[in-house]
Amino acid sequence: MPCYCQERLNNPKVAELMKDIPEGFCGLCDICDRPGHTRAHPNLPTSGAWCDEHWKELLARPSITIDSILKTIIIAISFVMIALAIYRLI
């Protein structure tokens, strides 16, 4: 995923805002404060800065979407309805 390093090189105002961040990075990790990159979160609609270690951890976490939650709920309701139907037949 792209980060803001290129913006730092091309925009003097952004470079000024990032003057305390080491060269080659565009943010400080939100978790451990080490140099990292600012980019979109891989599973949530937000942005942040993460070092390489914590970025890899974020990528390794499975994403939970509303779609997957709804599918699980629909399947659970279906099982309950089938069980009730069978119970009424007995």
Quick: pLDDT tens for 6-57: 988 899 999 999 999 999 999 999 999 999 999 998 878 889 999 999 999 9
Q: Quick count: other Cβ atoms within 10 Å of Cβ 14?
A: 14
Q: Are 57 and 39 in contact (CB under 8 A)?
A: no
Q: What is the pLDDT of residue 34?
A: 96
pTM, two decimal places: 0.62
Q: Are 56 and 38 in contact (CB under 8 A)?
A: no
Confidence of residue 1 (pLDDT cuts 50, 70, 90): low
Q: How far is CA 86 from CA 26, 39, 72, 79, 80, in A?
A: 60, 52, 21, 11, 10
